[in-house]
Amino acid sequence: MKKLLKLLWTILCIVLLILFIISCFSAFISPAFFSYIIFFVLAFPYLFIFTLIAAFINLYVNKKLAFAILICIPPAFYNLSNMVAFNFPEKLNDARTDSSVFRIMTWNVQDFINLSEKNDIRSSMMQLIKQKNPDVLCLQEVTNVEGGRWRISIREELEAIGYKYHFFSNDFISSNIHDVVVTRGVVIFSKTPIKDSGRIKLSNETEPENLIYINTIFNNKLLRVYTAHLASYALFKDTVSSNNDIYEITYRRKRAIQYKLREIEALHKKEAEIIADTVSKAGFPIVYCGDMNTTPCSYTYRILRDDFSDAFLENGLGTGATFYKILPMLRIDYCFADKRLKVVNCAVIKEKLSDHYPVVTDIKWK
């Protein structure tokens, strides 16, 4: 019996090690080549932890196997270096007395929860924006209503606190005979004048996505700010009003869910390549930020980050999770800065208002 248990344990460790090694190279494996790589992207931190535990246990059970596991740990350092920030940044200063610092805030606002006139959550979100006082505000999953009797114009609310300039992606626009106009997508609000702007189509799917940018002046120099929202997985979009338990739904739809994950990750690759090609042609310093809907262990992250600085890795601490539902350690909202810019600070604001935490980044010219 003892020999059988040892054999089963050895087989389990070998399988775990194989899965772990694949996950270590997840950022270099295109989802177009191996669509199942998304599962290794999501599982990497957990596989890493379990592999370390297995190595520790084998120091007492099977030293040769422990050694074999330990020599396979180094390939994980690439993903770990993109996942975990090892800095001790100063606390984000809301007073902002240094005029050489430019602040950018990116936030998936989940449609500001809803746009009814009496909405304490939306009011709290607006108060947080006012408190952090960014120069440029990049928002994803925004619904703006103009002319609605029972709905609030987000544009008007933000203009009232100083964001007089804006540019919408116009992913979706509708209007009716009462002159009510509804716009959905991403948007950039700015306190400083917008000198130029543009949009680039990322997806022709049923829910189109656009990359947008603005040019503005920061300390007498031109700076371009991009933002985008990469396609959502929308695994349970049609079950919002369902009374069924989410785990029951997941079990019942496990095949459909795994197919959806693979399909959207392949779409992310296409979107990332369009964005990477676009920003490489900007010709002057840029900042790219937004909701990428994927982790730092992914092919998409590697393509988009390219030669830019990940602001959180430059001046953050820990794993910096920005999406607090489903799984821990999900950092899917980013700010990438041109190497001609210095990241002074970067903080994930842990306020559960949307399903995403906002990311605030302070930059200055080098």
pLDDT given for residue 117 in this prediction: 61
CA distance 364 to 366: 6
**335-346 residue pLDDT tens:** 999 999 999 999
- The answer to whether residue 325 scores a pLDDT higher than 60 is yes
Instruction: Specify which residues 138 forms β-bridges with.
Output: 106, 188
**148-182 residue pLDDT tens:** 776 778 999 999 999 999 999 998 888 776 678 88
Instruction: Specify which residues 183 forms β-bridges with.
Output: 144, 173
Mean confidence (pLDDT) of the chain: 89
Name, in order, each residue with C-beta under 8 angstroms of 32's C-beta and a sequence gap of 6 or more.
266, 269
- Cβ-count burial of 342 within 10 angstroms (0-12 exposed, 13-18 middle, 19+ buried)? middle
What are the sequence ranges of the domains in the chain?
2-83, 102-365
- The answer to whether residue 239 scores a pLDDT higher than 50 is no
What is the rounded average pLDDT of the residues 288-296?
96
Name, in order, each residue with C-beta under 8 angstroms of 365's C-beta and a sequence gap of 6 or more.
100, 218, 219, 221, 340, 341, 342
pLDDT > 90: what percent of the chain? Answer: 69
CATH number of 102-365: 3.60.10.10
pLDDT tier, 49 (very low <50, low <70, confident <90, very high otherwise): very high
**101-126 residue pLDDT tens:** 999 999 999 988 776 666 688 889 99
CA distance 323 to 232: 13
